[in-house]
Amino acid sequence: MARRLRRHVITMTATAGSGHPGGSLSAADIITVLYFKVLRYKSENPQWSDRDRFILSKGHAAPILYAALAEAGYFSVSELATLRKLDSRLQGHADSKFTPGVEMSAGSLGMGLSFAVGVGLAARLNSKTYRTYALLSDGECEEGQTWEAALSAAHFKLDNLAAIVDYNGIQLSGWTRDIMNLEPFSQKWQAFGWHTIDIDGHDLGQILSAFQAAEEIRSRPTVIVAHTIKGKGVSFMENNVAFHGKAPTQQEAERALKELE
């Protein structure tokens, strides 16, 4: 399934001639485990009140979310070909008003964890048992709002919330370590009161085990720091900053799809 989702990402962005393949590919294994092993949802009833909530804070990685939603039955796989087209439900950044299964409109980075805290508090206020999962980029963890949200989640003891950081080390214009060094990263979350789990973000077993462990934690939120590779699965995209926000050409797409067979 993860390979299939990656193939969708390549085809979608190449067809559109724009998009963000690098960060979509790095998150593919995380998204696969979430949608096909962890999340409770009813694709035929996207507004089911007891569904688990997935918040894509790194909204530019919309292609990998759309691929998962299509394979999960929220809409037809054929609709993926409309990515970034006029009047399409699949815009360049996730839009909750038009796209079934999208919980938060995203694009401006740094807001997803705050939104997720609100969703987690709403579950408590409404005596609901659903869990909330928020996928963040490492680049947006340079923003102050992320840490304000981290403080509030710990303060309110939101054990129904799990954040996942797609820690691929690359943002728009270079390596995070050069632009704004985040280390010691896990220790920062621990200092903010979070239970922290470090994993290989491409090891499906580790990913699933981390989500299962997060469900057992009480009285504090959990962050899963997923160490990933930008562009994972396509040799010429891996650790290549150029493919943060550049679609493959048709020739590059053909090569990528062969690698992902």
Which domains are seen in the chain, by residue range? 2-259 (3.40.50.970)
Q: Is the dihedral of CA 229, 259, 37, 49 positive or negative?
A: positive
Distance between alpha carbon 120 and the CA centroid of its chain, in Å? 17
User: What is the spatial distance between Cα 107 and Cα 69, in angstroms, rounded to a whole number?
Assistant: 18
Predicted model pTM: 0.97
User: What is the spatial distance between Cα 93 and Cα 1, in angstroms, rounded to a whole number?
Assistant: 23
User: What is the spatial distance between Cα 168 and Cα 137, in angstroms, rounded to a whole number?
Assistant: 8
What is the pLDDT tens value at each position of the chain, 261 positions in all?
999 999 999 999 999 999 999 999 999 999 999 999 999 999 999 999 999 999 999 999 999 999 999 999 999 999 999 999 999 999 999 999 999 999 999 988 999 999 999 999 999 999 999 999 999 999 999 999 999 999 999 999 999 999 999 999 999 999 999 999 999 999 999 999 999 999 999 999 999 999 999 999 999 999 999 999 999 999 999 999 999 999 999 999 999 999 999
Neighbours of 85 (CB within 10 A): 12
Length, in residues, of the chain: 261
From residue 164, alpha-carbon distances to 134, 167, 203 in Å are 6, 9, 14
From residue 156, alpha-carbon distances to 152, 159, 194, 210, 220 in Å are 6, 9, 11, 22, 8
